[in-house]
């Protein structure tokens, strides 16, 4: 009986960029976006339509190349298929790139799903001289195949009729059986028998599929298995380990690679003998291959890659400069306004230093993030990012990372002056969670644009003759640290194999402008919503740490007396005028300039005393117990603590701590002069501080993004503690080593 109650669930699965969204829109008519997200599409899109009196619910799964547990999208797609058990699955494939697209199909069939193949983009395939015998393909795969052109809605009706009839059949799942060769097949059979007998996870997965996942070392299935039946799971793991060891010894490979090889072999065999005809001439002219000859050329490839990555970097940071300046100007005039209307006191300080600066720092990142995602979306949608990964994979693999890690490093400041916030977000292009975590934990070692002014100030003070050389060394040092630490993390905490690089290079494609814009904005909005509130909260917390508890009555009275003493030197009538000068932008008459300077000096010493008494100042003093080993006193410590709010604040806090007043550009020069003349400072201490700033805890905006991107508080906390320990260790080596070598005197 069919009626309103009998809603039929159908899923739409396919590789990224195969036209899934286009088809989904054509079917449901829902107003959805067409295009690709840079990274993960975890939102579940649903649409409804009815056909022959049947209510159909269509779910658009995230685009994936595979059904492993390497990425969130793949897990989401897989979990949905297994748990919600759709009555039919439309597997949309790109006909112009059939071989690669069928890799997913094979896995869907191995799960036993009732698949209907939508052979999409036959127009594009035809243009490339590719002809596909759909009937023959259907006969060999034993699933219905319907050619479509989603962009114009061609084949849509036939597809829907076909899918509905599959759904109405409601047959039990029948897993496809592929041979995995003489090394794996016998074990696979053995495991399958064991699984069947013990009814192990059989309510969720076909037995052979579970066995395959054990061989592939699929973390999700392993965890599920251990929970379900520890004993059986251990036996399966032992069997799988034996094969792994055997394969390593005999073929120097691992089960996953063999499994992938055989899947591709299965597909290649399937497509032979008339299913797939390629017009050689058109194929040879096929632009993508030609482009790849240059773009992934052994010599030109890397050169062009660095030019392109440099261009991305320039684009991200240069084009975003103007909007960032507007935003900064806007917030500065807001501060200025608050400055004039609010009375002196803690409320004013909260509004200006806590709230306005806090909101400003959230909004200030927005242009950066937008431009970075736009650039990445472009590289990803055109298919170039896959080439970058392909070319750099070998180098980065040595350090337990992935070719795509380079993007995160460069955006974080690998070239000079990036930002770790978009850098951490750029790790979305990584599939393996271990490689992704290792990348996002080490990207903050790069020298972001906020660390640079601090380095510049210290270098100007202590290494004026070698400015460029020092900057270069600092950059090299940050790359070396990031890679070495990544290697360390990947061989301890995040141990595990690298993602096998199995995928072919997808063909180049021109992305749609609208798609790029929409998805850039979606990602950016996510940042504002998710990270924004936390950053704001942290900002206010920091303001409080530096502002409270403030001076007590007696101390404040002392500074008031000093002020009164200065004022007593001028005519009583002019005192009121002098009092207001410090607050507004009033013009200073020449005869008062000396008195005004003296008043400002009192203000500075008061600010210094208040800073020392603040919670941050006390913490800085307490920390001297540890930091004296690396030569830092309370002033440096409190500056470093404030640097956790934003690295560029280090300069202004140091300024206050040395009672230099609030620091602007000129004061950075005078601070530089002040430090170079201070007996407590020397080049060794300055260099130690540079290295410490380079490596210690990321600013909290970055930490917030680490938490959001890794999905766990513990990784944010880890980055704070671990990076600071790394920084301490490196500083200790440099400082104590330097002292032994008598560099500090």
Of 20-28, 103-111, 193-201, 645-653, the segment contacting Mg ion by CB under 5 A is 20-28
d(CA 395, CA 650): 35
Query: Closest residue to Mg ion, Cβ-based?
Result: 21
Binding segment for Mg ion (CB under 5 A), chosen from 16-24, 378-386, 633-641, 657-665, is 16-24
Residues at the contact surface with ligand GDP, assessed by CB under 6 A: 14, 16-22, 34-36, 63, 120-121, 123-124, 149-151, 512
Which x/- pattern, by CB under 5 A, does the window 698-717 give for Mg ion?
--------------------
Out of 12, 19, 21, 71, the only residue in the binding site for Mg ion (CB under 5 A) is: 21
Q: Is the CB of 37 or the CB of 715 nearer to ligand GDP?
A: 37
- Phi and psi angles of residue 648, each rounded to the nearest 5 degrees, phi first: -70, -15
Kindly tell me which of 61 and 372 has the beta carbon lying closer to Mg ion: 61
Of 61 and 247, nearer to ligand GDP (C-beta) is 61
Enter the tokens of residue 208.
């052979």
Rounded Cα distance, 226 and 231, in Å: 8
Least distance (Å) between residue 678 CB and Mg ion: 59
* Euclidean distance between CA atoms 186 and 18, whole angstroms: 36
Nearer to ligand GDP, 16 or 354 (CB): 16
CB of 187 to ligand GDP, least distance (A): 36
Output the smallest distance, CB 502 to ligand GDP, in A: 20
For residue 132, report the phi and psi dihedrals to the nearest 5 degrees: -125, 130
Task: Return the one option of Mg ion, ligand GDP, none that residue 18 interacts with (CB less than 5 to 8 A, by type).
Answer: ligand GDP
CA–CA distance, 470 with 456 (Å, rounded to integer): 9
Torsion of CA 224, 227, 230, 235, to 10 degrees: 0
- Selection from ligand GDP, Mg ion, none that 120 binds (CB < 5 to 8 A by kind) is ligand GDP
**126 contact partners, CB below 8 Å, separation of at least 6:** none
Residue 333 touches which member of ligand GDP, Mg ion, none, C-beta under 5-8 Å by kind: none
CB of 118 to ligand GDP, least distance (A): 9
Residue 488: burial class (beta carbons within 10 Å; 0-12, 13-18, 19+): middle
- Report strand pairing: 276-278 vs 145-147: unpaired
**In whole angstroms, how close is the CB of 73 to ligand GDP at the nearest point?**
11
Which CB sits closer to Mg ion, 21 or 353? 21
Tell me whether residue 65 or residue 180 sits nearer to ligand GDP (CB atom). Answer: 65
Smaller CB separation from ligand GDP, 286 or 687:
286
**Residue 14 touches which of ligand GDP, Mg ion, none (Cβ within 5-8 Å per kind):** ligand GDP
Closest CA to 654 of 625, 680, 626, 684: 680
Nearer to Mg ion, 21 or 682 (CB): 21
Interacting span for Mg ion (CB under 5 A) from 17-25, 429-437, 546-554, 681-689: 17-25
- Coil, strand, or helix at residue 254? coil
Nearer to ligand GDP, 17 or 240 (CB): 17
Q: Residue 25, interface with Mg ion (CB under 5 A)?
A: no
The option from Mg ion, ligand GDP, none interacting with 704 (CB < 5 to 8 A, set by class) reads: none
| Nearest-5° Cα angle at 487, 308 to 408 | 30
φ and ψ at residue 351, rounded to 5 degrees: -65, -45
Query: To the nearest whole angstrom, how small is the minimum distance from the Cβ of residue 371 to ligand GDP?
Result: 22
Pairing mode, strands 45-51 and 130-132: unpaired
- 461 contacts 686 by C-beta, under 8 angstroms: yes
Beta strand 45-51 pairing with 54-60: antiparallel
37 versus 180: smaller Cβ distance to Mg ion: 37
Helices 219-228, 230-251: inter-axial angle, 10-degree rounding: 140
Q: Which does 19 bind (CB under 5 to 8 A by kind): Mg ion, ligand GDP, none?
A: ligand GDP
Task: Please state the separation of Cα 339 from the chain's center in Å.
Answer: 37
**Parallel, antiparallel, or unpaired for β 54-60 and 7-14?**
parallel
Q: Residue 194 CB, nearest distance to ligand GDP (Å)?
A: 38
> What's the min distance (Å) between Cβ of 499 and Mg ion?
23
Q: Compute the distance between CA of residue 478 and CA of residue 733 in angstroms, rounded to an integer.
A: 16
Sheet holding 88-94, edge to edge: 45-51, 54-60, 7-14, 88-94, 115-120, 145-147
**CB under 5 to 8 A by kind: which of ligand GDP, Mg ion, none does 639 bind?**
none
* Spatial CB neighbours of 490, under 8 Å, sequence gap ≥ 6: 399, 400, 401, 434, 435, 438, 496
Q: Which is nearer to Mg ion, 33 or 154 (CB)?
A: 33
Stretch that binds Mg ion, among 18-26, 178-186, 461-469, 718-726 (CB under 5 A): 18-26
What's the maximum distance between 2 C-alpha atoms anywhere in the chain?
Answer: 105
Task: Give the residue nearest to ligand GDP (CB).
Answer: 19
- Count residues contacting Mg ion (CB under 5 A)? 1
Residues that bind Mg ion (CB under 5 A): 21
């Amino acid at each position: 009986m069919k009626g309103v109650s009998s809603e039929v669930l159908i899923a739409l699965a396919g590789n990224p960029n195969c036209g899934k969204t286009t088809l989904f829109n054509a079917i449901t008519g829902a107003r959805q976006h067409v295009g690709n997200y840079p990274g993960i599409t975890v939102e579940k899109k649903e649409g409804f339509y009815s056909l022959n009196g049947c209510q159909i619910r269509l779910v658009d799964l995230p685009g994936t190349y595979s059904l492993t547990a390497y990425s969130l999208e793949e897990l989401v797609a897989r979990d949905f298929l297994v748990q919600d058990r759709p009555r039919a699955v439309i597997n949309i494939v790109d006909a112009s790139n059939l071989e690669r697209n069928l890799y997913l199909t094979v896995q869907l069939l191995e799960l036993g799903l009732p698949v209907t193949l939508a052979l999409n983009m036959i127009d594009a395939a035809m243009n490339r001289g590719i002809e596909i015998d759909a009937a023959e393909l259907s006969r060999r795969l034993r699933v219905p195949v319907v050619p479509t052109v989603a962009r114009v809605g061609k084949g849509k009706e036939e597809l829907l009729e076909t899918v509905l009839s599959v759904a109405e059949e409601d047959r039990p799942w029948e897993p496809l059986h592929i041979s995995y060769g003489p090394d794996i097949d016998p074990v696979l059979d053995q495991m399958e028998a064991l699984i069947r007998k013990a009814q192990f996870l059989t309510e969720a997965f076909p037995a052979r599929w579970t066995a395959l996942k054990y061989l592939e070392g699929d973390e999700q299935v392993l965890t599920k298995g251990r929970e379900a039946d520890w004993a059986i799971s251990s036996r399966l793991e032992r069997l799988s380990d034996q094969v792994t060891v055997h394969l390593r010894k005999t073929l120097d490979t691992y089960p996953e690679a063999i499994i992938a090889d055989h899947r591709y072999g299965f597909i290649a065999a399937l497509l032979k003998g008339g299913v797939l005809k390629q017009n050689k001439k058109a194929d040879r002219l096929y632009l993508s291959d030609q482009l790849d000859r240059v773009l992934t050329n052994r010599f030109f490839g890397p050169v062009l890659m660095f030019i392109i990555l440099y261009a991305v970097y320039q684009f991200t940071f240069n084009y975003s400069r103007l909007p960032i300046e507007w935003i900064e100007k806007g917030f500065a005039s807001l501060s200025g306004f608050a400055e004039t209307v609010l009375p002196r006191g803690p409320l004013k300080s909260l509004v200006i230093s806590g709230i306005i600066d806090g909101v400003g720092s959230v909004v200030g990142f927005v242009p950066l993030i937008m431009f970075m995602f736009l650039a990445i979306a472009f590289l990803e949608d055109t298919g170039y990012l896959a080439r970058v990964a392909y070319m750099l994979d070998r180098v980065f693999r040595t350090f337990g990372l992935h070719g795509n890690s380079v993007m995160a490093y460069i955006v974080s400041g690998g070239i000079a002056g990036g930002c770790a916030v978009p850098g951490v977000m750029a790790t979305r292009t990584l599939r393996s969670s271990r490689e992704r975590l290792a990348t996002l934990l080490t990207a903050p070692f790069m020298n972001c644009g906020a660390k640079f002014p601090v380095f510049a100030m210290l270098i100007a003070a202590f290494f004026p003759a070698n400015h460029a050389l020092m900057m270069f060394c600092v950059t090299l040092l940050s790359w070396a640290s990031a890679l070495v630490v990544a290697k360390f993390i990947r061989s301890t905490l995040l141990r595990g194999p690298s993602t096998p690089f199995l995928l072919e290079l997808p063909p180049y494609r021109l992305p749609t402008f609208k798609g790029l814009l929409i998805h850039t904005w979606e990602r950016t909005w996510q940042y504002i919503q998710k990270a924004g509130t936390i950053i704001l909260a942290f900002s206010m917390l920091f303001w409080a740490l530096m502002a409270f508890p403030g001076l007590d009555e007696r101390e404040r009275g002392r500074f008031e007396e000093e002020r009164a003493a200065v004022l007593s030197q001028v005519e009583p009538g002019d005192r009121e005028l002098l009092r207001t000068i410090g607050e507004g932008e009033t013009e200073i008459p020449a005869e008062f300039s000396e008195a005004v300077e003296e008043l400002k000096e009192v203000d500075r010493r008061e600010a210094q005393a208040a800073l020392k008494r603040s919670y941050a100042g006390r913490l800085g003093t307490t920390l001297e117990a540890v930091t004296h080993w690396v030569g830092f006193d309370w002033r440096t410590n409190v500056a470093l603590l404030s640097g956790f709010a934003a690295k560029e604040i280090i300069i202004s806090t140091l300024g206050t701590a040395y009672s230099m007043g609030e620091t602007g550009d000129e004061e950075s020069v005078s601070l530089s002069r002040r430090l170079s003349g201070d007996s407590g400072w020397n080049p060794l201490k300055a260099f130690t501080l540079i290295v410490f700033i380079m490596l210690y805890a990321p600013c909290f905006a970055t930490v917030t993004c680490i938490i959001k991107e890794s999905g766990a508080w513990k990784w944010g906390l880890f980055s704070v503690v671990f990076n600071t320990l790394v920084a301490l260790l490196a500083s200790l080596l440099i400082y104590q080593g330097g002292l032994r070598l008598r560099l500090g005197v």
